[in-house]
Amino acid sequence: MNEPVGRRHYCAAGDGYPHASGDGAPKRKKCAHCGGRLAVQLGCYGVFVWRGDGRYSRDNAVRLFAREARADAHTTTDPRYVVRWLVAT
């Protein structure tokens, strides 16, 4: 499967709101909340049929996307679908 390459960024000093995080490359060098370093991960968003055990591999993906919004939009076609981030290997 030809895997799209996506990016996401997050504050290395803290997780969740109000620390900076999001899809794509960061627009600034530091977290607007705490001034911490912003880390960038490469990977893709996978759409999967929900399993309940948390084990989602690339081989079982219904479809792969570079952007989270596109993956979320694909989940509207079936209520059993979930989106998971897959770190590039």
- The pTM assigned to this predicted structure is 0.82
Burial (Cβ within 10 Å: 0-12, 13-18, ≥19) of residue 68: middle
Distance CA(10)–CA(55), nearest Å, equals 23
Each residue's pLDDT tens digit, 71-88: 999 999 899 999 999 999
Q: Is the pLDDT of residue 42 over 90?
A: yes
